[in-house]
């Protein structure tokens, strides 16, 4: 269970550019479900995802993972915790261009390399990328690259997968395929996806809507 309690985030505190991106957002995400975070551009969706995933520290409020406050960890412990429990898929894939698909998927792995190599191959095959295993990102299509990024996010068997507009750079067909895969992965992890596109959330178990930094609707 992942919980955000009274989350506030202020950029540039004390400067003329100070801006409150989130105010008093409380949300709760159950295990092994798919959730969408919706809202207009600039409303604070990505900021919320960054706080929930431990990439940014809330100005006020707490993030609890299985009732433990993740921000009570020291920064190196938090980094280790994130690598073990959370997987990330962004709008841009951030693959390394001189590594093959297989090597890219293995980048977050720092132990049992042989065991994880088998898992990486399985994930790539499950994502329909058998023919790309030895290809480098520039030899693949945008949809294929994004699926490699998904395999990389899943390699450490995370408990939560955070997606920040993971389908935004894809055509509708590829976007649906990516969402179907994420939905089918629900048996293994909770998936929380920020998106503008409600149509890719047909299979979602719950959605929240952020407007001007506040939670407007939530049926989680």
Ligand X SMILES: Nc1ncnc2c1ncn2[C@@H]1O[C@H](COP(=O)(O)OP(=O)(O)OP(=O)(O)O)[C@@H](O)[C@H]1O
Which residues of the shown chain bind ligand X in the complex (CB under 6 A)? Answer: 11-12, 19, 21, 39, 41-47
How long, in residues, is the chain?
220
- Residue closer to ligand X, measured from CB, 132 or 149: 149
Residue 164: CB minimum distance to ligand X, A: 8
Question: Toward ligand X, which CB reaches closer, 9 or 185?
Answer: 9
The Cα 161–Cα 9 span in angstroms is 22
Asked if 206 and 2 count as a contact pair (C-beta separation under 8 A), the reply is: no
The least distance separating ligand X from the CB of residue 183, rounded to whole angstroms, comes to 22
Please, which residue, 12 or 112, has the CB nearer to ligand X? 12
Compute the least distance from the CB of residue 194 to ligand X, in Å. 6
In the complex, minimum distance from the CB of residue 55 to ligand X, in angstroms, rounded to a whole number: 12
Q: Considering only CA atoms, which of 43, 45, 41, 48 is closest in space to residue 26?
A: 48
176 neighbors 16 (Cβ within 8 angstroms): no
Nearer to ligand X by Cβ, of 19 and 113: the residue is 19
**Distance separating alpha carbons of residues 62 and 57, to the nearest angstrom:** 9
Which tokens go with 67? 């009732």
Q: Which is nearer to ligand X, 40 or 128 (CB)?
A: 40
From the CB of 195, what's the least distance to ligand X, in Å? 9
Query: Measured from the CB of residue 202, what is the shortest distance to ligand X in angstroms?
Result: 20
* Euclidean distance between CA atoms 38 and 198, whole angstroms: 7
CB nearer ligand X, residue 59 or residue 83: 59
Using CA atoms, how far apart are residues 170 and 78, in angstroms rounded to an integer?
32
Report the first-to-last Cα separation within the chain, whole angstroms.
Answer: 12
Q: Quote the crossing angle between the two packed helices 142-154 and 172-184, to the nearest 10°.
A: 20
Q: Which is nearer to ligand X, 23 or 119 (by Cβ)?
A: 23
Cβ partners under 8 Å of residue 2, min gap 6? 28, 29, 52, 63, 64, 65, 160, 190, 192
Q: How far is the CB of 17 from ligand X (least distance, A)?
A: 6
């Amino acid at each position: 269970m992942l919980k955000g309690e009274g989350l506030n985030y202020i950029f540039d505190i004390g400067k003329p550019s100070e801006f409150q991106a989130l105010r008093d957002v409380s949300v709760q995400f159950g295990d092994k479900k798919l959730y969408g975070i919706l809202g207009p551009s600039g409303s604070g969706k990505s900021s919320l995802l960054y706080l929930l995933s431990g990439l940014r520290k809330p100005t006020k409020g707490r993030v609890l993972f299985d009732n433990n406050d993740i921000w009570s960890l020291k920064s190196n412990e938090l980094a280790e915790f994130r690598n073990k429990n959370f997987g990330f898929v962004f709008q841009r894939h951030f693959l390394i261009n001189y590594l093959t698909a297989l090597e890219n998927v293995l980048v977050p792995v720092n132990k049992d390399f042989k065991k994880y190599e088998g898992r990486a191959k399985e994930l790539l095959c499950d994502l329909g990328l058998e023919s790309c295993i030895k290809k480098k990102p520039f030899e693949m299509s945008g949809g294929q690259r994004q699926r490699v990024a998904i395999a990389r996010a899943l390699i450490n068997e995370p408990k939560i997968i955070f997606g920040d507009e993971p389908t935004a750079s894809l055509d509708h067909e590829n976007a649906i395929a990516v969402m179907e895969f994420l939905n089918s992965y629900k048996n293994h992890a909770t998936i929380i996806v920020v998106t503008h596109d409600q149509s890719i959330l047909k299979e979602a178990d719950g959605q929240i809507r952020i407007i001007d930094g506040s939670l407007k609707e939530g049926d989680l």
